[in-house]
Chains A and B, each alone.
Chain A
Amino acid sequence: MMTSKITPKKRLLDVLNKKATDRAPVICMGGMMNASIVEVMNSSGFTLPAAHDNPDLMASLAGAIQEQTGFENLGVPFCMTVEAELLGSRIDKGTLACEPKIRQEAFGSVRDVIFRDIDEMLESGRIQTVTSATAKLSQTYQQLPVVVSMTGPISTAASIINPMAFYKELRKNPASAHRILEYVTELLIRFAARSVRAGASVIAIGDPSATGEILGPLMFREYAVRYLNILTEAVHGFRTPVILHICGNINNVRTLIPDLKADAISTDAMVNLAKLKEDFPGITTMGNLSTYSLEWGTPHKISVQTQKLVNDGIDIISPACGLSTSTTLANIRAMTRTVQGE
């Protein structure tokens, strides 16, 4: 059988390169959608919040998650505050069961933003933690893809400037909004470059503050599509594919999805991915098992829902949103084993 010969890394890269494979990969991209559930942390002893700051612990926890859940990738980091912290926001590192978040944005308004030298910034902060963990993981698990998850441009901007002030600026003062987005996108590109150099096989982007529901179609096109594509094309320049997760309901920006240059589009649970695929056959779809089911459902129910995604021809199977840290391993395994045909 060919099945046993293809490595999970090749399978994921093949799908992202639109090549035929034996079956869909089942992955969990990390970042805002990490699988660092309490059960894995307790059994492995590699715990958060310590693993946010320590590259060895970060790699060990990512490895334990992969081994215990059966997800066919390693995903780092376990939060979406790495970039904002570097840019000056105050971060609450959270607890074992509670993810880090922005305690206080660095700037109250767009006018207050201090533009710093990006190369200098890259030498400090947790980008080093992530790239060093990535290097370890890519050496230890050569058959598995390491996915480095980054916070998208608008979400990063809305994490360093008070989000309400930033959203208003998008409408009131496009020129200064663009200047901020160019700045954070440049930082993200260099973060991606370092991750790829460290051994990342795939760059994943989550941009939860840049949804059609929040921005509407016009601003989604002007700001979200534009900067996501600049970032994506830069990563393509590093010969690395990009997965993009879009939060929430995509109805009002549906027709803009084909304009996104990411190699796979991941969506939330309320989006009918089979229909999206039917409407836009060129899109590689990823998702979208309800994290509500994963937390509250039974293994049997999860298995049935996962099988439906597989039968629908969804290209990459993954959770639809951030996993609750109290999700059980049994439920996640029901998902991964169903895809793996066990």
Chain B
Amino acid sequence: MSDNKEQTFFTALSDAVLNMDEGTVEEIAHRVIKEKIDAYRAIENGLVDGMNRAGQLFEDEEYFIPEILLCSDAMYAGLNILNPYINREQQRTRKKVVIGVVEGDTHDIGKNLVKTLLDAAGFEVIDLGRDVQPRQIVDAAIAEHADVIALSTLMTTTMDGMAAVVQILQESGQRDAFKVIVGGGPISQTFADRIGADGYAPSAPAAVKLLHKLFKDSIYV
């Protein structure tokens, strides 16, 4: 198989993810398997590449939440087909993120978007859902041996819960075990600094960039 031909498949996968075309992604993924193209590289250079391009369009305000969700569906459709064909040596332990919306918030759209983009960026994401109490978040992070605690809120009413998470970590002497990042409508860098979080991201793509910065671009443990 020539590199050129491989690249044609990768580009087609990437484009199909970007175009929210689940059916085409599945069709090409099956052909990747048939042609014995490296599944791992098809994921990285095809599916993930397409999702990263979608993330860029989101940042540029050409794509919005409905488009990102459909791109993500297309990416997962491909992952489901290609994942079983990845070699064991290629599977490395990825940094783990527990993500949740602090108790009391109205909805969790922002959190779902951050989860999708972190997934696409290669992090292993454990979604605790919405309405999670600060203590539960800390317990889950410890149990999961997570590297990151990502907290999202939509309303000023639940910002105290974010401070509580950091406080619980400090009191139990586990503050240094995790990077704590926060985001959401009412949150600012000033607030993140005040509660002692490791970082603040104003948007979902920014959350991905923030983690890359905090981990010096390595998603692997």
Stretch of B2-10, B40-48, B105-113 with 4 or more beta carbons under 8 angstroms from chain A: B105-113
Within 8 A of A (CB), among B52-90: 61, 63-67, 69-70, 73
Instruction: Say yes or no for B155: interface residue by CB 8 A criterion.
Output: yes
Contact B156 A295 (CB under 8 A): yes
In the complex, number of A-B residue pairs with CB atoms less than 8 Å apart: 82
What residue in chain A is nearest B188 (Cβ atoms)?
Answer: A292
Question: Interface extent on B, as a size class?
Answer: 20 to 34
Instruction: Say yes or no for A313: interface residue by CB 8 A criterion.
Output: no
What residue in chain B is nearest A214 (Cβ atoms)?
Answer: B65
Residues of B within 8 A of A80 (CB): 106
Within 8 A of B (CB), among A127-172: 158, 163-164, 167-168, 170-172
Instruction: Say yes or no for B185: interface residue by CB 8 A criterion.
Output: yes
B162 to chain A, nearest CB (A): 13
Within 8 A of A (CB), among B169-217: 185-186, 191
Contact A216 B157 (CB under 8 A): no
Q: A291-306 CB contact bits vs B (8 Å, 1 = yes)? A: 1100100000000000
Residues of A within 8 A of B112 (CB): 164
Instruction: Say yes or no for A338: interface residue by CB 8 A criterion.
Output: no
Instruction: Say yes or no for A91: interface residue by CB 8 A criterion.
Output: no
Contact A321 B186 (CB under 8 A): yes
Instruction: Say yes or no for A209: interface residue by CB 8 A criterion.
Output: yes
Contact B109 A209 (CB under 8 A): yes
Instruction: Say yes or no for A215: interface residue by CB 8 A criterion.
Output: yes
B203 to chain A, nearest CB (A): 9
Question: Interface extent on A, as a size class?
Answer: 35 or more
Contact A247 B185 (CB under 8 A): yes
A247 to chain B, nearest CB (A): 7
Q: A88-106 CB contact bits vs B (8 Å, 1 = yes)? A: 0000101000110110000
Within 8 A of A (CB), among B125-180: 130-131, 154-157, 159-160
Instruction: Say yes or no for A28: interface residue by CB 8 A criterion.
Output: no
| Bound-state Cα–Cα, A80 to B65, Å | 22
A326 to chain B, nearest CB (A): 7
Identify A216's interface contact among B64, B154, B155, CB under 8 A: B64
Instruction: Say yes or no for A204: interface residue by CB 8 A criterion.
Output: no
Q: A238-262 CB contact bits vs B (8 Å, 1 = yes)? A: 0000000001100010000000000
Contact B155 A158 (CB under 8 A): no
Within 8 A of B (CB), among A267-291: 268, 291
Known A80-B106, A98-B104, A163-B109; contact A219-B157, beta-carbon cutoff 8 A = no
* Beyond known contacts A171-B70, A321-B185: 20 more, CB 8 A cutoff: A32-B106, A80-B106, A92-B131, A99-B157, A101-B106, A163-B107, A167-B66, A167-B109, A168-B70, A214-B65, A215-B65, A216-B61, A216-B64, A219-B66, A291-B156, A292-B159, A295-B156, A321-B156, A322-B156, A322-B157
